[in-house]
Amino acid sequence: MNRPTLRLVVVVTSSTALLDVNKTPSLLRAISGLREHWPTLPLTVCVSEGTASDVTQLLERKRVIHELIVCAVNSPNEIAVALLAESQSYDGLIFHDASRPFTTSELNERLTTAFMTADAVRPAIPFTETLKVVEPRGVIRETIDRTKVRRISTPEIIRTSAIDPKGKRSGWFVPLKKSAVTAHVEGNPEGLRINSVSDRDLLESFLHWKQTFS
């Protein structure tokens, strides 16, 4: 079986992608993690109008070879339309959130293997915290069964033929056709998303602990 032709797509979903993690912006770490496993694939960076200037300056300063697409990065439909116009020659797109600075070659290999028999695949890890449904007045209505919940992260590998730019089946970076076969692989705990400076500090502490005791 021929290996699928793939394209890297790093999406800057938030300005937190520009925060330094151990002195390197999350965006650059995210790209570097992908490049360790897919060193030769073409790279597209999707940004909103609000972050386009800062992202462009950073990538040009670091001489990162890329294509830049400006679109509504929080709209799966708009991302799909923007990418499909230029991605018909690719079998699949590898989406990664630039605010998730870390991935591993082991994870990326699991994703690549799973993609051979699925239309869309991404990492997931068990959810171990207690989840409560709370009403507006602060009254706890129910406890959610944690065995039915997973922490979803990226990268996502999605077959271009499974993307429906007008579809409503999202939850992924782009809407999927109803017939799309989806799969999940075991994720890594370091695949955390940076939503704030506090999240960045927590991730740095986690990495320092891991390096110290590895």
Q: What is the pLDDT of residues 42-71, one digit of tens each?
A: 999 999 999 999 999 999 999 999 999 999
Domain of 49, CATH number, reads 3.90.550.10
List of residues 6+ apart from 41 with CB closer than 8 A: 6, 7, 8, 34, 94
| Euclidean distance between CA atoms 158 and 139, whole angstroms | 40
Confidence of residue 9 (pLDDT cuts 50, 70, 90): very high
Q: Is residue 141 part of a domain?
A: no
Nearest to 7, CA basis, from 170, 157, 108: 157
Contact 66, 8 (CB under 8 A): no
Total number of domains constituting the chain? 1
More confident residue, 52 or 143: 52
Contact 146, 130 (CB under 8 A): yes
Q: Is residue 61 part of a domain?
A: yes
Q: Is residue 111 part of a domain?
A: yes
Do β-strands 92-97 and 6-11 pair in parallel, antiparallel, or remain unpaired? parallel
- Which three-class secondary structure string do you get for 122-153? EEEEECCCCEEEECCCCCEEEEECHHHCEEEC
Q: Is residue 136 part of a domain?
A: no
Q: Is residue 138 part of a domain?
A: no
pLDDT at 142 (0 to 100) = 75
Mean pLDDT of the chain: 91
Q: Is residue 137 part of a domain?
A: no
Q: Is residue 163 part of a domain?
A: yes
pLDDT at 139 over 90: no
Strand (E) or helix (H) holding 79: helix 76-84
The pTM of this model reads 0.90
Name the CA radius of gyration of the chain, rounded.
Answer: 18
pLDDT at 94 over 60: yes
pLDDT at 119 over 70: yes
pLDDT at 4 over 80: yes
Q: Is residue 166 part of a domain?
A: yes
Nearest to 175, CA basis, from 103, 75, 101: 75
What residue numbers bound the domain in which 108 lies? 6-124+151-213
Nearest to 40, CA basis, from 79, 8, 2: 8
More confident residue, 28 or 205: 28
